[in-house]
């Protein structure tokens, strides 16, 4: 299996993971002849899909939780929030069950380097983002040996961290292109709106509400809404801020394309010790694949290949299945282990190849 830009879809590829839009199945797994869906996918804001083809046969892309769990959590979150906006009652039971099932899976998943890359249409972004951010946050927390009740608070807080966006005008929320300063200030209100919304639900722990309120704070005081710093931000908030930014950067948005995993990790590492807690950034990045399985890479000898397996001790040197020579000709694929071929390195990752440099993002909302 591999992840390809929809511009690179070829007739011999078949969909490896189903594509959904607003809970509805758009492209089932196994569908061939996918090129004719390109414009549909693009209209939904989907730029990448997982495919199976001869070149990527046998390559597995590990996820921290099962696809079924992820899809059902997203659906439960969406239904719960839509129901809440009509009835003003938040059915927390279904959300609690979904948090519990994710915690159980994460605690039982072997410690491997994962790449999530869930595919989200623009309309579903907030739900997909909330579930992925929860998974990332719980991955960090499992390294801290949190008790299950503490993981449950973190999970629920992360799942609801952007609930305030529901009160932001759709036109501004999904605006293509850069926000004006005024619009940006308005969107920032989502953390306060989130807190106020969650205060209406008496059964929620205060810490869940505080995650919604403070997830954009940074330990050097550069965040919002209050510009809190240092010890004013507890560990749960610090975890969510890292998970939130990483997921936002690695997902397509209406105003920019997603960043490759290695760039998003560099972003966190560069800011660790300033905006982000360095210990937590370390615990997080050690669990992520720098060059995820299934991604296309260019090697220093100009050959192209697909990452096929990770080398845990050397994340920058995975196994690569070489598929193209330096002149761009397809070749009979063969596998190399970059931990053994020390004179070859990865020079570019997929997204850089398909569209050159990623755009610089505004601070993630
Ligand atoms: Fe946010
Ligand atoms: Fe967020």
Q: Would you place residue 352 in the very low, low, confident or very high pLDDT band (cuts 50, 70, 90)?
A: low
C-alpha separations of 218 from 190, 224, 225, 265 in Å? 16, 8, 10, 17
Compute the mean pLDDT over every residue in the chain, rounded to the nearest whole number: 90
Answer yes or no: is pLDDT of 346 > 90: yes
- pTM beyond 0.85: the answer is yes
Domain count, the chain: 3
In a domain, 61, yes or no: no
What is the number of alpha carbons within 13 Å of residue 46 lying toward its C-beta? 27
Q: What is the CA radius of gyration of the chain?
A: 20
CA distance 107 to 232: 29
Indicate whether 154 and 236 sit together in one domain: yes
In a domain, 361, yes or no: no
CA distance 247 to 216: 14
Indicate whether 182 and 35 sit together in one domain: no
**3-class secondary-structure state, position 60:** coil
pLDDT digits over 245-290, tens only? 999 998 877 777 788 889 999 999 999 999 999 999 999 999 999 9
Q: Hey, what are 333's tokens?
A: 């694929």
CA of 184 relative to ligand 2 center, distance in Å = 14
At residue 114, the pLDDT reads: 77
Indicate whether 146 and 251 sit together in one domain: yes
Tell which phi-psi region holds residue 66, choosing left (phi > 0), alpha (psi between -120 and 50) or beta. Answer: beta
Q: Hey, what are 307's tokens?
A: 């990452």
Indicate whether 123 and 47 sit together in one domain: no
CA of 194 relative to ligand 2 center, distance in Å = 11
Indicate whether 345 and 326 sit together in one domain: yes
Indicate whether 73 and 185 sit together in one domain: yes
Q: Would you place residue 360 in the very low, low, confident or very high pLDDT band (cuts 50, 70, 90)?
A: very low
The total of other beta-carbon atoms located within 10 Å of residue 62's CB is 15
Domain that holds residue 26: 2-56
**3-class secondary-structure state, position 59:** coil
Nearest ligand to the C-alpha atom of residue 246? 2
At residue 201, the pLDDT reads: 93
Indicate whether 96 and 229 sit together in one domain: yes
CA of 161 relative to ligand 1 center, distance in Å = 7
CATH number of the domain within which 27 lies: 3.90.105
CA of 279 relative to ligand 2 center, distance in Å = 21
CA of 286 relative to ligand 1 center, distance in Å = 24
Indicate whether 144 and 16 sit together in one domain: no
CA of 164 relative to ligand 1 center, distance in Å = 8
In a domain, 362, yes or no: no
Nearest ligand to the C-alpha atom of residue 223? 1
CATH number of the domain within which 149 lies: 1.10.3210.10
pLDDT digits over 79-118, tens only? 999 999 898 888 899 999 999 999 999 999 877 777 666 7
CA of 158 relative to ligand 2 center, distance in Å = 8
CA of 126 relative to ligand 2 center, distance in Å = 8
Nearest ligand to the C-alpha atom of residue 131? 2
In a domain, 62, yes or no: no
In a domain, 365, yes or no: no
In a domain, 199, yes or no: yes
Indicate whether 164 and 307 sit together in one domain: no
Residues pairing with 49 in the sheet: 4
The whole-angstrom distance between residue 20's C-alpha and the CA centroid of its chain comes to 16
Average pLDDT over residues 286-310: 94
The strand ranges marked E within the chain are: 2-5, 14-15, 19-21, 24-27, 48-52, 296-299, 304-309, 319-324, 330-337, 346-349
Nearest ligand to the C-alpha atom of residue 127? 2
Nearest ligand to the C-alpha atom of residue 193? 1
35-39, 125-129, 320-324, 359-363: which is most confident: 320-324
Cis preceding linkage at 94, omega within 30: no
Residues with CB under 5 Å of ion ligand 1 are 162
Indicate whether 241 and 307 sit together in one domain: no
At residue 207, the pLDDT reads: 98
């Amino acid at each position: 299996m591999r992840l390809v830009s929809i511009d690179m879809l070829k007739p011999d590829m078949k969909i490896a993971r189903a594509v959904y839009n607003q809970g509805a199945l758009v492209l089932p797994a196994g569908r061939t002849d996918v090129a004719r869906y390109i414009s549909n996918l693009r209209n939904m804001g989907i730029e990448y899909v997982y495919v199976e083809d001869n070149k990527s046969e046998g390559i597995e892309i590990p996820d921290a939780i099962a696809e079924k769990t992820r899809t059902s959590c997203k659906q439960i979150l969406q239904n719960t929030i839509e129901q809440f906006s009509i009835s003003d009652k938040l059915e927390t039971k279904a959300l609690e069950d979904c948090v519990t099932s994710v915690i159980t899976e994460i605690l039982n998943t072997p410690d491997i380097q994962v790449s999530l890359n869930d595919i989200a249409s623009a309309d579903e972004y907030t739900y997909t983002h909330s579930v992925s951010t929860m998974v990332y946050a719980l991955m960090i927390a499992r390294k801290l040996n949190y008790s299950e009740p503490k993981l449950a608070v973190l999970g629920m807080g992360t799942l609801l961290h952007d609930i305030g966006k529901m009160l932001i005008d759709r036109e501004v929320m999904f605006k293509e292109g850069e926000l004006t300063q005024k619009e940006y200030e308005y969107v920032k209100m989502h953390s306060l709106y989130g807190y106020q919304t969650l205060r209406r639900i008496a059964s929620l722990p205060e810490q869940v509400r505080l995650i919604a309120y403070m997830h954009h704070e940074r330990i050097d005081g550069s965040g919002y809404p209050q510009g809190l710093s240092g010890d004013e931000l507890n560990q749960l908030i610090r975890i969510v801020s890292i998970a939130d930014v990483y997921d936002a950067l690695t997902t397509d948005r209406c105003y920019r394309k997603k960043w490759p995993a290695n760039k998003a990790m560099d972003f966190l590492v560069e800011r660790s010790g300033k905006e982000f807690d360095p210990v937590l950034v370390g615990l997080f990045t050690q669990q992520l694949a720098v060059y995820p399985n299934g991604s296309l890479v260019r090697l220093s000898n100009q050959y192209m290949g697909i990452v096929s397996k990770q080398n845990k001790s050397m994340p920058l040197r995975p196994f690569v299945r070489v598929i193209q020579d330096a002149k761009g000709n397809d070749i009979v694929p063969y596998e190399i282990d970059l931990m053994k071929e020390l004179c070859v390195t990865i020079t570019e990752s997929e997204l850089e190849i398909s569209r050159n440099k990623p755009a610089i993002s505004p601070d993630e909302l």
